[in-house]
Amino acid sequence: MRKDLVFGMAGSGGDGIVSAGDSLLQAAAAEGYHGVMTKSFGSQIRGGESSCRVRISTSPILNPGGNLDVAVALNWEDFLKFGAELPVSGNTVVIYEAATNIPVDQIPLVGVTPLQVIAVPIAAMAKETAGTERAKNTVVLGLIAGWFGIGAVAVMKGIRKKLAKKGEELVEANQRAFDAGRAFAMEHPLKVSMAIEPSETKGQVKLITDGNDMCAAAAIFAGCQFFGGYPITPSTEIMQFFTDQVWKYGGAVLQAEDEIAGIGAAVGASFAGKKSMTATSGPGLSLKSEMMGLASIAELPLVIVDVQRGGPSTGLPTKTEQSDLFAAAFSAHGDVIRPVLAPTSVADMFRITVEAFNIAEYYQTPVIVLSDQEIAARKETLDPIDTSQFKIVDRLRPTATDLQDYRRFKQTENHISPISHPGMLGGTYLASGIEHVESGAPTNSGSVHARMNDKRTKKFDPLKERRDLFEVLGNPDAPIAMVAWGSVAGVCREALAMAQAKGLDVKLLVPYLLYPVAEGIYNDFFRSVQKGLVIEQTHLAQTFKLLRMHLDLPKGVKPLARSGANPFLPGEIVAALQNLLAELQRSHEGNLQPQE
Amino acid sequence: MSATGTCEYQAKDYKSDLKPIWCPGCGDFSVVQGIYRALAAVGRPPHEIAFVSGIGCSSRIPGYTTAYGFNSVHGRALPIAQGIKLANPDLLVLAAGGDGDGFSIGGGHIAHLIRRNMDITYIVMDNQIYGLTKGQLSPTSQKGRITCTSRYGSLEEPVNPLLYVLAYGAGFVAQASPTDLAGMASTIEAAIRYPGFAFVNIQSPCVTYGEEAQQIKGLKAISETLDSLGHNPADRLAAMDLAQQYGEKLHLGVFYRNPEPPPTYGDLVKERQAALSKDALPKERILDLFIKK
Amino acid sequence: MAVQGIDFANLSLMDALDLAILIEDEAQERYEDFAAQMEQHRTPEAAKFFRYMVENEAKHARELTARRIHRFGDAPRTVTRAMIFDVEAPDYDAARAFMSPRKAMEAALAAELKAHAFFVSSLPTLKDPEVRALFEDLRDEELEHQQLVQAELYKLRPETGLSDDDFVDEPTAQ
């Protein structure tokens, strides 16, 4: 019996492959499994290629998985478009549409011999049982239930609920299609059984959501009452969640006329005393940079979510990448520190978003949450989160004494000045993008400018000591190390477990705080390190370079960097770590050679 | 009267301690006086007023006013103002800036504030020139005008700010000028009192880079009050007709005031909040939305 | 329009006095603004003259206030600053950076002439004889002020005919 299965399915938009993935994930959750689902699309609005990847496991899942255990191709042309996103190996069972008329020994997968290849007349079964080929996805779900033991009851329960309003006839048609798929699987058992073990946590409540919805929910939990934004893939769902919910909490949402107006309204709302946010993706981040600088100099709390996609410019709008790191850290001119946080999964998106608001409020600064398309769009099953353990921070308000002689940008010991807002008697001041003295009055003075730059940058010193925004996994004294953030961290977590199982002495650093660079924490981490990899989905090794800019990295630490939409597989990372170990051993042996 | 109906304010209560950087003789000195007077007439206490601007000579104006001021970035007074209004619809929100700020770099925002009917008063100090950067062509500069970026004369038609906002459906559109301070103050006051987006174009001469014809004397020669013309401010088409003469005539007063102002965006926001508040899960249970039963 | 919402025909003496005080206040504030502008823009001689005018207007306001208190005590005022606009205050556009003392004085002179004209034009509309008498006084005082400024002007050396702008730096871009 298997403990973990990775499904990858591809077809055209009309094949309903993504809704099949949704049904599978929900059924798995209902049966007590942990699950992660990611989606990937071509750029057509409708009818382009689409795929999903569903990983189901009896234990918590760290990432969407590497090679597929099960590949489902409704047609090969679409399947192949996803390339490395749906990697087939010698351990994969490949299921494909028989109507493609390709013999099982001639499927167009180059350089790999799958474990088993099965042609199934999916379309024909759908037509026969449901009267339409559109029921292909339900047939596939039946096949999965039959072969892999997931969702025999729960899938149809979910479909029934979803379609109840549309009438019994449709539900019945789906039931017939599902049964036909399941019967086919029963009649054609796999060469090697791949059924999954029953889950021990069956019956426990699970949440299912994706990174974008989780981010928005966390923001509302943190007290966010205003969202200003503009539609942009892959971040738009955050705004959509707000339009659904924020009114209920006395807040408002504005779909602005452009990216600049979106963040501008959020800056205004923050000035007016409300916690506020905006969300965007790379092109929008570029447009928002002037406003981010304004929020920095006016010392206004603000959370900006950047859901990264492939760049530059329009780039790859529907694919994930980590290449906005430099833009997140450095966008906007002038000497600015703007904290950048990155979640690594849907689960920790909650904590990181709440933390972003807390940091924004405490330090009176814009904060960027650097999400990515994969986290944003992937659905995870989650155990319920105990929200009572999260502390909510609000900005420092002036006291009655402060208001007697109110100076908005007063120098204080920790460089943080009480902030008033319109409506507060005695607190009127001028917020400005122009340099200002303590009262807020504009100035041209070089010495004031230097002092204020000092205030605005030194206030972040304590942030660089926040060890709780970093995670070290593995042996803390290991000589071989990995550094990874965002969705790539999940792959590295799994690679770490695999490497440890092979006896490698490796550790992994996952920074949730990317900027400002916490030199002390990295130096501590690298102290034992001789060889290492900074693993990232950027073409230019931006993370590695950002660290090098701030630290003297050990010579043996190198980037493992590649462009987005080419996911890392845990196996290849383990192989790279093994190479490092071999190099290390060779150099040790070299050192042992007698000196000439 | 203030919201509490107790205090009365005088113009000087809205004057801040900052000394204007404007060139002596600048029209904006009169404009800020007009604003003080209008605010005193309306009577809202300074701490209930948010005054937002962009960048430009005139955009310094919130600093010279006692209120919650925000001297933001070029062209973005209106987006910030609408965020303030949505965060707290009870505030009196003013936005101000120059013709370049409003009709060039920030020109895209006006239409949207108008169609949202944001209850914001937007004052443009129109001087047909970029003064802060030393006299370049502005969106309202006359065609043929020679400046340091149009050495042989501008090749472009100017924007007509009045027609622009009238065409987008602004509920209140007016024009004023330092040639008539009393008229300016009462026009700004009427704009603030209008429930919805209100626009006041103020012909405010630049003494340093402005042309002779656009100084006070020149403006006086072409000015006429709309009252004296018998204009009915409820007549939008007549208003558009008169607005066509922008640049040739200086019409002072209210071009258009919607006689039946529709609800403002802030009103609708409050309504929606009230209607939906009963459906809110307690914040600490918001993740229950993700439970699939 | 220099005034707004004033019924001259039925103006009481107290209101007339209060109005006169407010007119002086406005002028005093304007000269303060002008002096500050000149100081801000490195035009000290004009600033000095405007400060002198601040004192003149303040003095005049004090005299009028004394009269008002003597006659009406602290009875509440019914006229407001919102009723007057630039009666005796020089127009904002009269100021210029680097203006010569002569130009500053000419600006003040123009303001005094404006005020004089205001009182002259108001006289025929007044019915109350006491108010009339007050306005005649005020009109005459404006004449005295004019003479005062004229006297200062005579003290100056004749103008060279050169423009101030020919000597100063160009404006700076911000």
Q: Does C86 touch chain B (CB under 8 A)?
A: yes
Q: Torsion angle of alpha carbons C28, C31, C33, C37, nearest 10°?
A: -170
Chain C: residue whose CA lies nearest to B35: C82
CA distance A277 to A28: 34
pLDDT at B44 over 50: yes
pLDDT at C173 over 90: no
Residues of B in contact with A433 (CB under 8 A): 55, 71-73
Angle of helix C129-155 versus helix C101-122 axis, rounded to 10: 160
Q: Mean pLDDT over residues C51-66, rounded?
A: 95
Question: How high is the pLDDT of residue C82?
Answer: 87
Chain C: residue whose CA lies nearest to B186: C82
CA distance C26 to B36: 14
pLDDT at A596 over 80: no
Residue A98 structure tokens = 């028989």
Indicate the domain borders of chain C: 9-74+98-155
Neighbours of chain A (3+ CB pairs under 8 A): B
Which range has the worst mean pLDDT, A21-35, A196-210, A376-390? A196-210
Instruction: Let me know the angle formed at the C-alpha of C131 by C125 and C132, rounded to the nearest 5 degrees.
Output: 60
Please, which residues bridge with residue B150 across strands? B147
Q: Do A250 and B273 touch (CB under 8 A)?
A: yes
Q: Mean pLDDT over residues C38-65, rounded?
A: 94
Q: In order of start, what are the domains of chain B with their CATH numbers? A: 11-262 (3.40.50.970), 263-293 (no CATH)
Q: Do C94 and B25 touch (CB under 8 A)?
A: yes
pLDDT confidence bin for C51, thresholds 50/70/90: very high
The distance of B190 to chain C (nearest Cα, Å) reads 15
Question: How high is the pLDDT of residue B63?
Answer: 97
CA distance A62 to A487: 9
Of B19, B24, B180, the CB nearest to C1: B180
- Best mutation target, B76, B85, B117, B279, to test chain A (most A CBs within 10 A): B76
pLDDT at B163 over 50: yes
Q: What is the mean pLDDT of chain B?
A: 95
- Best mutation target, B8, B33, B39, B74, to test chain C (most C CBs within 10 A): B33
For the beta sheet containing A366-372, the strands, ordered from the edge strand earlier in sequence to the opposite edge, are A252-255, A226-229, A276-280, A302-308, A366-372, A340-341, A513-515
> Residue C111 is which amino acid?
A
pLDDT at A46 over 90: no
Q: Does C83 touch chain B (CB under 8 A)?
A: no
Neighbours of chain B (3+ CB pairs under 8 A): A, C
CA distance B79 to B15: 25
What backbone phi and psi angles, to 5 degrees, belong to A591? Answer: -65, -25
Q: Does C92 touch chain B (CB under 8 A)?
A: yes
Q: Do C92 and B205 touch (CB under 8 A)?
A: no
Q: Mean pLDDT over residues A31-44, rounded?
A: 87
What backbone phi and psi angles, to 5 degrees, belong to A368? Answer: -100, 130
Q: Between β-strands A557-561 and A531-536, what pairing exists: parallel, antiparallel or unpaired? A: parallel
pLDDT at C135 over 80: yes
pLDDT confidence bin for A593, thresholds 50/70/90: low
Q: What percent of chain B has pLDDT over 70?
A: 97
A378, A449, A451, A379: which is closest to A412 by C-alpha? A451
pLDDT at A526 over 90: yes
Burial of A344-379, coded b for 16+ CB within 10 Å and e otherwise, reads: bbbbbbbbbbbbbbbbbbbbbbbbbbbbbbbbbbbb
Residues of B in contact with A237 (CB under 8 A): none
Encode pLDDT of A255-303 as tens digits.
999 999 999 999 999 999 999 999 999 999 999 999 999 999 999 999 9
Residues of B in contact with C38 (CB under 8 A): 24
The answer to whether the bond into A108 is cis (omega within 30° of 0) is no
Complex ipTM value: 0.94
Question: How high is the pLDDT of residue B6?
Answer: 42
**Residue B73 gets which letter from DSSP?**
S
Which range has the worst mean pLDDT, A207-221, A533-547, C73-87? C73-87
Q: Mean pLDDT over residues A27-38, rounded?
A: 93
pLDDT confidence bin for B5, thresholds 50/70/90: very low
Q: Do C93 and B23 touch (CB under 8 A)?
A: no
Encode pLDDT of A309-353 as tens digits.
999 999 999 889 999 999 999 999 999 999 999 999 999 999 999
Chain A: residue whose CA lies nearest to B77: A264
Non-local (6+) Cβ contacts of A19 within 8 A are A137
Residue A202 exposed, middle or buried by CB count within 10 Å (0-12, 13-18, 19+): exposed
Question: How high is the pLDDT of residue A200?
Answer: 86
Q: Mean pLDDT over residues B237-266, rounded?
A: 97
The distance of A426 to chain B (nearest Cα, Å) reads 7
Q: Mean pLDDT over residues A148-170, rounded?
A: 90
Q: What is the mean pLDDT of chain A?
A: 95
The distance of B270 to chain C (nearest Cα, Å) reads 35
Q: Mean pLDDT over residues A19-23, rounded?
A: 93
Residues of A in contact with B83 (CB under 8 A): 226, 228, 254, 264-272, 276
pLDDT at B3 over 50: no
Encode pLDDT of A233-253 as tens digits.
999 999 999 999 999 999 999
CA distance B201 to B139: 14
Of C4, C81, C96, the CB nearest to B24: C96
Question: How high is the pLDDT of residue B1?
Answer: 35
CA distance A445 to A438: 12
**Alpha-carbon torsion (B204, B207, B210, B214), positive or negative:** positive
The distance of B41 to chain C (nearest Cα, Å) reads 8
Query: Domain spanning C9-74+98-155: which CATH class is it, in words?
Result: mainly alpha
pLDDT at A95 over 50: yes
Encode pLDDT of B178-224 as tens digits.
999 999 999 999 999 999 999 999 999 999 999 999 999 999 999 99
How far from the centroid of its chain's Cα atoms is residue A397's Cα? 34
Q: Do B21 and C40 touch (CB under 8 A)?
A: yes
> Residue A480 is which amino acid?
I
pLDDT at A43 over 80: no
pLDDT confidence bin for A592, thresholds 50/70/90: low
Of A228, A247, A440, the CB nearest to B83: A228
Q: Does C43 touch chain B (CB under 8 A)?
A: yes
What do you get for the CA distance between the two ends of chain A, in Å? 59
Residue B42's alpha-carbon distances to B185, B263, B265, C38, in angstroms, are: 11, 20, 21, 32
Highest mean pLDDT among A156-165, A368-377, B5-14: A368-377
Q: Do B182 and C4 touch (CB under 8 A)?
A: yes
Residues of C in contact with B178 (CB under 8 A): 91-93
Question: How high is the pLDDT of residue B67?
Answer: 98
Question: How high is the pLDDT of residue C157?
Answer: 76
Q: Does C172 touch chain B (CB under 8 A)?
A: yes
B236, B72, B99: which is closest to B167 by C-alpha? B236
pLDDT confidence bin for C1, thresholds 50/70/90: low
Q: Does B42 touch chain A (CB under 8 A)?
A: no
Please, which residues bridge with residue B93 across strands? B50, B120
Question: How high is the pLDDT of residue B293?
Answer: 61
Residue A264 structure tokens = 């501008």
Q: Do B23 and C171 touch (CB under 8 A)?
A: yes
Residues of B in contact with C80 (CB under 8 A): 10
Q: Mean pLDDT over residues C128-139, rounded?
A: 94
Its pTM stands at 0.93
Chain C: residue whose CA lies nearest to B22: C37
Q: Does B39 touch chain A (CB under 8 A)?
A: no
Residues of B in contact with A264 (CB under 8 A): 72, 76, 78-80, 83
Encode pLDDT of C88-114 as tens digits.
999 999 999 999 999 999 999 999 999
Question: How high is the pLDDT of residue A594?
Answer: 54
